[in-house]
Amino acid sequence: MTGDPSTRSAPSGRDRYSRQRLFAPVGTAGQERIAASHVALVGCGALGTHVAQHLARAGVGRLRICDRDFVELDNLQRQVLFDEDDVKANLPKAAAAAAKLARINSAITVEPRVVDVNPGNVESLIQDVDLVLDGTDNFETRFLLNDACVKRGKPWVYAGCVGSYGMVLAVVPGETACFRCVIGEMPAPGSSPTCDTAGVLGPAVGVVASLQAAEAIKLLTGHRDALAPGLVTLDVWSNSQQTFKAARDPSCPTCGQKRFDFLEGRAAGAATSLCGRNAVQVVPPPGASLDLADLEQKLLKVGAVSRNEYLVKFIIEDVEVTLFPDGRAIVKGTDDLVRARALYARYVGS
């Protein structure tokens, strides 16, 4: 697409962003900054679909959506960009979201990336953006994003939601506390509630994502002074909200000592349990790739196989295995990392 998205009109000839321009802190200058911006969204599930829609409707010029997963029926309760047709088509979330957003706002550019964000690719995915938004469901990827954004000097906004509770934190490297300043070390497995154990309330997701999108718009329009001064927490069931002020910690391994443990792979794993899915993602070594058409033919000997341009899916024993061109697999029906890796080795290769 060409031209300035801030000046393109809706088909009726009216200014799409007129109400947003009327809000004084945004105005015409702020709208132009939004239109010229490039944002990376990492994760397009519950929070990600909400915040992506907010930014598309706000007129962000270019939105890169990075997600490793595909749409399933139980996503539809809270992941607002998807519908039953996406489930039937086995569409990756990034691709399905991009198609919906193109119909919401054809004046912006949406770039879907069906990819697992990991130490090997995260810097290339964020190097040319103005802002990074967290739509992930695990602490390992959030600590990785924090490493990459602090190293590259990229502002980013963390958000998390479980049950009826949520949190938002805007990070401006060199100015504010970073994610590791606030959280400390990565929580031990099983020490924090997840959507596996606590579920998630759809309206809570919407509230948290709206706060995250508001922080994003403040950053994109240059109003850093309006950012929350620390970690915002809320609970829509108990009707509570608090802001915990946070200052930079000079001894922080990431922003204080410039030690990037997650980015350099010292804290990363090759297999990860997926929140709320009874599933494991298996990640091959860097540089791996799969020929989906060839793989489909090989797997026909195993049983029923389905394929589209994005993935191959088959069922073996009591689990469902979904394979992507970058060599990744999502093994659904088990949370046993060892078993998932063994199935991958048996049917795809070590």
pLDDT tens for each residue of 296-315: 988 888 888 999 999 999 99
With 70 as the cut, is the pLDDT of residue 185 above it? yes
Measuring CA to CA, which residue among 220, 218, 240 is closest to residue 228? 218
Alpha helices in the chain (DSSP H): 18-22, 27-35, 46-58, 84-88, 93-104, 122-126, 139-152, 179-183, 195-198, 202-220, 292-299, 337-347
Is residue 157 classed as helix, strand or coil in its secondary structure? strand
Distance of CA 40 to the CA centre of its chain: 9
Residue with tokens 């927490």: 233
- Whether residue 116 is predicted with pLDDT greater than 90 in this model: the reply is no
Which tokens belong to 278?
A: 């009874």
List CB contacts of 208: < 8 A, sequence separation 6 or more. 47, 159, 160, 161, 166, 167, 168, 234
Q: Active site includes 195? A: yes
For strands 131-134 and 156-162, give the pairing. parallel
List for the chain the helix, strand, coil content (%; round to 5): 35, 20, 45
* Per-residue model confidence as pLDDT tens digits over 231-246: 999 999 999 999 999 9
Residue 269 has pLDDT above 80, yes or no: no
Based on the number of CB atoms within 10 Å of its own CB, is 163 exposed (0-12), middle (13-18) or buried (19 or more)? middle
Task: Please tell me the distance from the alpha carbon of residue 240 to that of residue 252, in angstroms, as a whole number.
Answer: 30
Binning pLDDT at 50, 70 and 90, where does residue 155 land? very high
What would the mean pLDDT of 313-330 be, rounded to a whole number? Answer: 91
**Per-residue pLDDT at 1 exceeds 60:** no
**Choosing from 44, 195, 252, 255, which is the catalytic residue?**
195
Give the DSSP per-residue string, 35-103: HT-EEEEE--SHHHHHHHHHHHHHT-SEEEEEE--B--GGGTTT-TT--HHHHHTT-BHHHHHHHHHHH
Average pLDDT over residues 119-125: 94
Of residues 339 and 131, the one with the higher pLDDT is 131
**CATH code at 5-245:** 3.40.50.720
More confident residue, 86 or 303: 86
The average confidence (pLDDT) of the chain is 90
Segment 183-191 shows an average pLDDT of 69
Global pTM reads 0.81
Thinking of the domain 271-347, which architecture would CATH place it in?
A: 2-Layer Sandwich (3.30)
DSSP three-state, residue 273: strand
What's the confidence (pLDDT) of residue 9? 47
* Nearest Cα residue to 291 out of 312, 275, 277: 312
Whether pLDDT at 199 is above 90: no
Q: Predicted confidence band at 350 (pLDDT cuts at 50, 70, 90)?
A: low
Based on its alpha-carbon atoms, the radius of gyration of the chain, rounded to whole angstroms, reads: 20
The band of 188, judged by pLDDT with boundaries at 50, 70 and 90, is low
- 153 in Cβ contact with 173 (< 8 Å): yes
Q: How confident is the model at residue 192 (pLDDT cuts 50, 70, 90)?
A: low
Domains of the chain: which residue ranges? Answer: 5-245, 271-347
Closest by CA position to 167, among listed 215, 85, 233, 71: 233
Residue 223 has pLDDT above 70, yes or no: yes
Mind listing the pLDDT tens digit for each residue in 36-67? 999 999 999 999 999 999 999 999 999 999 99
- Tell me which residue of 295, 306, 262 sits closest to 147, measured CA to CA: 262
* 114 close to 233: Cβ distance less than 8 angstroms: no
pLDDT band at 31 (very low <50, low <70, confident <90, very high): very high
Is-contact 250 244, C-beta < 8 A? no
**Burial grade of 59 (CB within 10 A; 0-12, 13-18, 19 or more):** buried
What average pLDDT does range 332-336 have in this prediction?
Answer: 91
Whole-angstrom Cα distance, residue 125 to residue 117? Answer: 8
* pLDDT, position 121: 93
Please determine, for residue 107, whether its predicted confidence score (pLDDT) is greater than 70. Answer: yes
